[in-house]
Chain A
Amino acid sequence: MIASNTSSGTGYEHGVVTKVIGIGSTGCAVVDHLTQSDWPGARFIAMHTDPAALERLQGAEECHLGKEMPPGMGVSGDPELAEGISEEDAERIREICRGANLIVVVAALGGGVGTGAAPILVRLAKEVGAIALGIVTLPFDCEGPLRQKQARRGFSQLKTNADGVICFPNQTILAYLDKHSSLIEFFNAASDRLVEAVQRLGRILLCPGFMKISFSDLCAVLQGRQMESAFVHLEGTGERRLEDAVSQLVEHSLVKRTRLGSPETLLVHIEGGSDLTMAEVNALIEKINHQFGEAQVVIGTSLEEHFEGAVGLNVLLSRRNFISDTGEPKGVSGGDESNERAGEMSQDLKAHYENQTVERSTYRFVPPPPVLTEERREKILREARDVPWKWQVATKLRPGYTPFEILSNGRFEKSEPTIHRGEDLDVPTYIRRELRLD
């Protein structure tokens, strides 16, 4: 299951304590697989309410939530129950998170434990001072509307709590797996994707490199309410190694056959040996810009000796469906400012939406009254006195300034706005749901 090409040879950056926490059945299984990969300084912890699921694990540290629950009782797919249990065990979870710089939470949303506990876990991790990143999947369409709904709710909670969330809708697997493959293959592919994503992320964030991608760069790429992502790994060898890799990317079935073919943000991480030339990188950037014209692209490289003569490309494509009202591009580069923003992003977004829905802007422009100086007053009075009587009346009757009708505020200007749970339903749904018409 594990991509074997993540060979050792170069070290990860030391001093960064990373804890990867898998939550729920899928999360635990993924973390268990990850223990076999080489990621020094990282701890792998599996969290679940079901002790039987934890017993099956081989390498990962175990954390049993809800010990007070009667044995054999799961949360039976109820996220609220899982939420309660994790609130109950908050102190233990904090203890686990303490001391880490980066907490990566891995879960499959839609069920009980993953959906309910992951947002709480992320919040607690942030409380003890770690950066929290979620890597989650959304259920297949065939899993039913209930799970979809739970997953969506969990995702939005996770989104508000975490610094960044990478989300893989399972449905996109259909793009590259044959429809007639077995069910097991599909679900394995889903969890493989999680495993690979965590490993690639580890490499991108923690490998020392030239033009390093920082965590804030990553968060900038991951902004947006209804974000969805995909990781693509490509390798090229020989003379035209980078071009080779890029054409593989363009031909990739995920790019060709899903909505992610027109991503809004791209994170490109190039792994190369010391023979990587500027011209090559330049050509690559050009080619990517040409292919994904409108997307925002963040590029980083890391140099590794064993890549001599070859190149690896890790690409994180994501659609964020976010309409910025200020027109300001969101966090193109790294730096402290965007780092700060990444932390506050969720709050900002929330506030942004709350403000937007309650208040209605008025378009009526009221000009300031003209300034009346003493001389002017005299002049006006004199003029008024001088003109014949008939005209005097006419001047008196003239209105101050012409009233003029300004463009109306849609059809509902005169009626009371329909506010439902803080959302102004008069605003078109496609705008509130950030549906992109392209």
Chain B
Amino acid sequence: MFDSTKILVGLEIGTSKVCAMAGEYNLNTGELKIIGVGQAKSRGVRKAEITDPTLAEEDVRHAIAEVEQMADAEVRSVLLGVSGGHLRGFNNHGVHPVVSEDREIGQQDVNDVIKNAKAINLPAENYVVHAIRQHFVVDGQNSIRDPVGMFGSRVEVNMHVLHGNFNRLQNPVRAVKGLHLGVDGLVFNGLASALSLLSNEQKELGALVIDLGGGVTEYVVYSGGIVKHTGVLGVGGDHVSNDLAYGLKVPLGRAEELKVEHGGAMVDETVLGKTITLDTDSGIPEEVNLEHLRRIMSVRLEEIFQLVEEELAQLGLLAYLRAGVFLSGGGARIPQIQKLAERVFQMPATLGGNRSMEGLNPVLDQPEFGAPLGLVKYGTFQERNRDRSGRLSKGLRSAVNGLLKRSG
């Protein structure tokens, strides 16, 4: 069969970079091979939301062109990663009475209960990005993965719903559509990072994934194999640069450089009282206090972690994170960030690194590729589901056709 592979492209329009990742998915074997990556510096995005559509579209075009060239394939549609401070996650609950005579739960009951759980009272301008199924409850019995075939009179389901402002979600979609590309689906970037970072065991044990992006920080909590909580904090690497620009009284571009070259998440003894000499345009060298630089960075990063920690503590989720904290995104490159996370969360912290895909080129196994890789991975799930439902509908269609033929 010649059409057994499909090109899946994940596109993340981030604050610091636009990244497209192409993967070749074999529909028959279920194998996924990453075949290309395209990147462009992002100029039209602030806090993970598009503020300048023209620039953003141009950057997306560059990234797509690059990935097409590298993968030697044409990109027709993408899986679009979305993020932004307006996204909110919460858990919802759906109930459905089992009506069949023998009280056996069928697929229809499961579909109904999920439908009930998806009926959420949200303002009209809100759009549900993800409704992720958690566990089923049958007659008060908890933690059931699949109730089909069980007996019971009442089936309930917990759902994690992630929703955001429709118009603001529409911006990246429009940028992509403007390039005559299709959108296969919207995926929350944090969830995508978690998909690429965590292995199944870690999802089972309980893990927190923090994606320290350029404009926002996304976090996802997995426990018992299901998504427990998701969230976005509108603070990211840009804020660190901005703080440095304020605190050290240097231009933003220079602050960005300083962050990359001399940054660190902790104030250790080696930097106390040290200064760095910079060359400036005016020719007069300028001195920057390294200790201040670290201190400013350290408090900002510490605050990001603390805000996440506070929220999880309020929800009582910290005790479930037995696999610890996983860091991805560009922020995971900051020296000693792991140590800082360990100190704030009081649990082991691990730097990004893909644990869910086999045979990945080590060049691509970087923390900042967590989300794009996850997007491709998400695409394979979608593909598998479509495959299954496609077959189902094919079967249905043939049955209907058969009926028609018989009657005719």
Q: How far is the CB of B49 from chain A (nearest CB, A)?
A: 7
Interface of chain B residues 15 through 47 with chain A (CB within 8 A)? 46-47
Asked if A395 lies at the interface with its beta carbon under 8 angstroms from chain B, I say: no
Q: Which of A145, A416, A428, A437 contacts B85 (CB 8 A)?
A: A416
Asked if A410 lies at the interface with its beta carbon under 8 angstroms from chain B, I say: yes
Q: Give a binary string over A144-177; 1 marks a CB under 8 Å from any B CB, 0 the rest.
A: 0100000000000000000000000000000000
Q: Which of B46, B85, B243, B245 contacts A414 (CB 8 A)?
A: B46
Asked if A430 lies at the interface with its beta carbon under 8 angstroms from chain B, I say: yes
Asked if A283 lies at the interface with its beta carbon under 8 angstroms from chain B, I say: no
Is the Cβ of B295 less than 8 Å from the Cβ of A425?
no
Known: A428-B246, A430-B247. A411 touches B241 (CB 8 A): yes
- The complex places the Cα of A142 from the Cα of B241 at a distance, in Å, of 33
Known: A411-B252, A437-B247. A430 touches B300 (CB 8 A): yes
- The complex places the Cα of A327 from the Cα of B303 at a distance, in Å, of 27
Is the Cβ of B299 less than 8 Å from the Cβ of A435?
yes
Is the Cβ of B289 less than 8 Å from the Cβ of A418?
no
Q: Which of A411, A414, A430 contacts B238 (CB 8 A)?
A: A411
Asked if B67 lies at the interface with its beta carbon under 8 angstroms from chain A, I say: no
Interface of chain A residues 388 through 438 with chain B (CB within 8 A)? 410-412, 414-416, 418, 420, 425-426, 428-431, 433, 435, 437
Give the interface size class of chain B. Answer: 20 to 34
- Chain B interface secondary structure, helix, strand, loop or mixed? helix
Is the Cβ of B299 less than 8 Å from the Cβ of A433?
yes
Asked if B170 lies at the interface with its beta carbon under 8 angstroms from chain A, I say: no
Is the Cβ of B307 less than 8 Å from the Cβ of A420?
yes
Interface of chain A residues 359 through 409 with chain B (CB within 8 A)? none
Q: Which of A411, A425, A431, A435 contacts B46 (CB 8 A)?
A: A411
Q: How far is the CB of A414 from chain B (nearest CB, A)?
A: 5
Asked if B296 lies at the interface with its beta carbon under 8 angstroms from chain A, I say: yes
B235 neighbours in A (Cβ, 8 Å): 418, 425
In the complex, residue of chain B having the shortest beta-carbon distance to the beta carbon of A146: B346
B234 neighbours in A (Cβ, 8 Å): 416, 418, 425
Q: Which of A145, A410, A435, A437 contacts B242 (CB 8 A)?
A: A410
In the complex, residue of chain B having the shortest beta-carbon distance to the beta carbon of A433: B299
- The complex places the Cα of A430 from the Cα of B302 at a distance, in Å, of 11
Is the Cβ of A416 less than 8 Å from the Cβ of B243?
no
- The complex places the Cα of A420 from the Cα of B232 at a distance, in Å, of 11
Is the Cβ of B246 less than 8 Å from the Cβ of A425?
no
Is the Cβ of A428 less than 8 Å from the Cβ of B247?
yes
Is the Cβ of B295 less than 8 Å from the Cβ of A437?
yes
- The complex places the Cα of A427 from the Cα of B246 at a distance, in Å, of 10
Q: Which of B242, B295, B300 contacts A412 (CB 8 A)?
A: B242
Is the Cβ of B239 less than 8 Å from the Cβ of A425?
yes
- The complex places the Cα of A418 from the Cα of B215 at a distance, in Å, of 11
Known: A415-B46, A416-B85, A437-B289. A428 touches B242 (CB 8 A): yes
Asked if B113 lies at the interface with its beta carbon under 8 angstroms from chain A, I say: no
In the complex, residue of chain A having the shortest beta-carbon distance to the beta carbon of B300: A429
In the complex, residue of chain A having the shortest beta-carbon distance to the beta carbon of B292: A437
Asked if B69 lies at the interface with its beta carbon under 8 angstroms from chain A, I say: no
In the complex, residue of chain A having the shortest beta-carbon distance to the beta carbon of B252: A411
Q: How far is the CB of B244 from chain A (nearest CB, A)?
A: 9
Q: Which of A145, A415, A418, A430 contacts B243 (CB 8 A)?
A: A430
Q: How far is the CB of B37 from chain A (nearest CB, A)?
A: 27
Is the Cβ of A412 less than 8 Å from the Cβ of B46?
yes
Asked if B192 lies at the interface with its beta carbon under 8 angstroms from chain A, I say: no
Known: A414-B51, A415-B46, A415-B47. A430 touches B295 (CB 8 A): yes
- The complex places the Cα of A426 from the Cα of B240 at a distance, in Å, of 10
Known: A411-B241, A418-B85. A429 touches B303 (CB 8 A): yes
In the complex, residue of chain A having the shortest beta-carbon distance to the beta carbon of B307: A420
B49 neighbours in A (Cβ, 8 Å): 415
Interface of chain A residues 101 through 145 with chain B (CB within 8 A)? 145
B296 neighbours in A (Cβ, 8 Å): 428-430, 435, 437
Interface of chain A residues 280 through 315 with chain B (CB within 8 A)? none
Q: Give a binary string over B240-277; 1 marks a CB under 8 Å from any A CB, 0 the rest.
A: 01110111000010000000000000000000000000
- The complex places the Cα of A410 from the Cα of B299 at a distance, in Å, of 19
Max chain B Cβ within 10 angstroms of own Cβ: one of A412, A426, A430:
A430
B46 neighbours in A (Cβ, 8 Å): 411-412, 414-415
In the complex, residue of chain A having the shortest beta-carbon distance to the beta carbon of B299: A429
Q: How far is the CB of B340 from chain A (nearest CB, A)?
A: 13
A431 neighbours in B (Cβ, 8 Å): 246
Max chain B Cβ within 10 angstroms of own Cβ: one of A411, A431, A435:
A411
Q: How far is the CB of B384 from chain A (nearest CB, A)?
A: 37
Interface of chain B residues 54 through 102 with chain A (CB within 8 A)? 85
Is the Cβ of B303 less than 8 Å from the Cβ of A145?
no
- The complex places the Cα of A437 from the Cα of B275 at a distance, in Å, of 13
Interface of chain A residues 41 through 71 with chain B (CB within 8 A)? none
Asked if B233 lies at the interface with its beta carbon under 8 angstroms from chain A, I say: yes
A410 neighbours in B (Cβ, 8 Å): 242, 245-246
- The complex places the Cα of A418 from the Cα of B299 at a distance, in Å, of 17
- The complex places the Cα of A415 from the Cα of B47 at a distance, in Å, of 7
- The complex places the Cα of A428 from the Cα of B302 at a distance, in Å, of 12
A415 neighbours in B (Cβ, 8 Å): 46-47, 49, 51
- The complex places the Cα of A411 from the Cα of B238 at a distance, in Å, of 8
Known: A411-B242, A418-B234, A420-B233. A430 touches B299 (CB 8 A): yes
- Enumerate 19 A-B pairs (CB-CB under 8 Å) in ascending A order: A411-B46, A411-B238, A411-B241, A411-B242, A411-B245, A412-B238, A416-B47, A416-B85, A425-B239, A425-B303, A426-B239, A426-B242, A428-B239, A428-B246, A429-B243, A429-B300, A429-B302, A430-B243, A430-B296
Interchain residue pairs A-B with the least CB separation, the first 7 = A418-B234, A428-B243, A415-B46, A429-B300, A429-B299, A429-B303, A415-B47
Given contacts A420-B307, A428-B243, A428-B246, 13 further A-B contacts (CB under 8 A): A410-B246, A411-B238, A412-B242, A415-B49, A416-B234, A418-B233, A425-B239, A428-B296, A430-B243, A430-B299, A430-B300, A433-B299, A437-B289
